[in-house]
Amino acid sequence: MPLVKGGKIVEDSFVKLDVDAPLPAAGDILVPGDRFLKDAAALLARPGKVGVIWPNNRDIDELVPYLGKLAAVALVFPTFRDGRAYSQSRLLRERHDYRGELRATGQVLRDQFVFMLRAGFDSFEVKKQADAEAFTQTVKRYSVFYQPTGDGRITALHRRMQLRHSEGVGT
């Protein structure tokens, strides 16, 4: 499954560990949330970056105390119909000021890219190679956004205000 980061297809530096896989001596690891919470101190003390795979039905608040030490948080879309992780990602970015890698995993298709970027994701485990290759093109689909989110894109409402002032109308 190709990983898109910074708009490009890249090698994944993280190794995913499931619940009981042996811990490698070094290297970057992505660990399920449960395993991480049970053993956070030891995992964070070893050499290599640590990321957490956080399920979409668990309160993100439990992860908050560790955010400063995490290199990545991977949120899950079990199917692309299930949109819970959009709320989790916005909370991580906008409320908890998380600045590390925020990865979308699961059924990630090109038609979600714009939503995901707007919600704060910056890396994507894309299901289909063709979708990963189309990333740059796809994220340019929209130039107008009605809602403010943490991605800083200017909203339609504010763009209108700017246009009005620059044209000197409505004064």
Partner 1 sequence: MYAYDEIDRTLVNERVSEFRDQVKRRLSGELTEDEFKILRLQNGVYLQLHAYMFRVAIPYGTLSSEQLRRLAHIARRYDRGYGHFTTRQNIQFNWIKLAELPDALADLAEVGIHAMQTSGNNMRNVTSDQWAGVAPGEIEDPRIWSELLRQHTTLHPEFSFLPRKFKIAITASDHDRAAIKIHDIGLRLVKNEKGETGFEVLVGGGLGRTPFIAKTIKHFVHGRDILSYVEAILRVYNQYGRRDNIYKARIKILVHELGIEKFSREVEDEWQHIRNSSLQIDDSVIEDIRSRFTYPAYEKLPHMPDELRQAAADPEFEAWRKNSVAPHKVQGYSIVTISLKPTGGPPGDATAEQMDALADLAEKYSFGEIRVGHEQNLALPHVAKRDLPALWKALDKLGLATPNVNLITDIIACPGLDYCSLANARSIPIAQELTRRFANHELANLIGRLHINISGCINACGHHHVGHIGILGVEKNGEEVYQITIGGRADESAALGTLIGPGVKFDEVADVIEDVVEAYLALRERPEELFIDTVKRLGVEPFKERVYATR
Interface with partner 1 (CB under 8 A): 80-84, 86-88, 90, 95, 109, 111, 114-116, 118-119, 130, 141-149, 155-157, 159-161, 164, 170
Closer residue to partner 1 in complex, CB, 9/139: 139
Closer residue to partner 1 in complex, CB, 12/145: 145
Closer residue to partner 1 in complex, CB, 74/88: 88
Minimum CB separation of residue 22 from partner 1 in Å reads 34
- Specify whether the CB–CB gap between 38 and 13 falls below 8 A: no
Minimum CB separation of residue 65 from partner 1 in Å reads 18
